[in-house]
Amino acid sequence: MKTPLIGFAIGLAVLAGGAVVAGSHVDKNVEAAVKARKAHMQLYAYNLGILGAMAKEEVPYDAASASAAAGNLAALARMNEGSYWPQGSDSLSMEGTRALPDIWDNIDDVLVKAKALTDASAAMEAAAGTGLDGLKGAMGAVGGACGACHKAYRQPDS
């Protein structure tokens, strides 16, 4: 589990040193990185939506669907996201992102929060197919991990 986090940290360090942002012009690679991280977050949201609807009993629990969504969530959390976060891809440097600049100043805390999501997603993957109670029991840790990072490092909706 440490390998994705190390890769994430190395990716951030390399991109922080090499990103090019001049005035209001944002490098196309930075724009592509933001687009990729938004897509990644949308995949998190999609799979969490499936799991959350079951946990809230808005839709019937289905072990196969829960297992698939939880597996997707765990796979997403294990991915190396380092290249998604180049220096200059924050909400003060460009439009179209809610990422706060504090991310790059607090990388150690970001990595702790990323590991919490990886761990919570792995626990969800193990529990989701065991029954509704298992799914419900794992939701809090996943939501807490997502929320911890978003509260600290995402600009609130206006």
The token duo for 100 is: 């706060």
If phi > 0 it is left, if psi is from -120 to 50 it is alpha, else beta; for residue 104 that is alpha
Q: Is the pLDDT of residue 157 over 90?
A: no
pLDDT at position 39 over 90: yes
Strand partners, 25: 22
23-37, 77-91, 139-153: segment of lowest average pLDDT: 23-37
The span from the CA of 76 to the CA of 68, in Å, is 12
Mean pLDDT of 36-55: 98
Distance CA 88, CA 101 (A): 8
Domains, the chain: 2-7+27-153 (1.20.120.10)
What count of Cα atoms within 13 Å lies in the side-chain half-sphere of residue 65? 15
Place of tokens 């799979």: 47
Cβ atoms within 10 A of the Cβ of 143, count?
A: 15
Where does the pLDDT of residue 2 fall: very low under 50, low under 70, confident under 90, or very high at 90 and above?
low
- Prediction pTM value: 0.82
pLDDT at 23: 43
Closest CA to 53 of 43, 62, 64: 62
User: Please, are residues 140 and 101 in contact by the beta-carbon 8 Å criterion?
Assistant: no
Q: What's the rounded Cα separation, in Å, for the pair 7 and 62?
A: 35
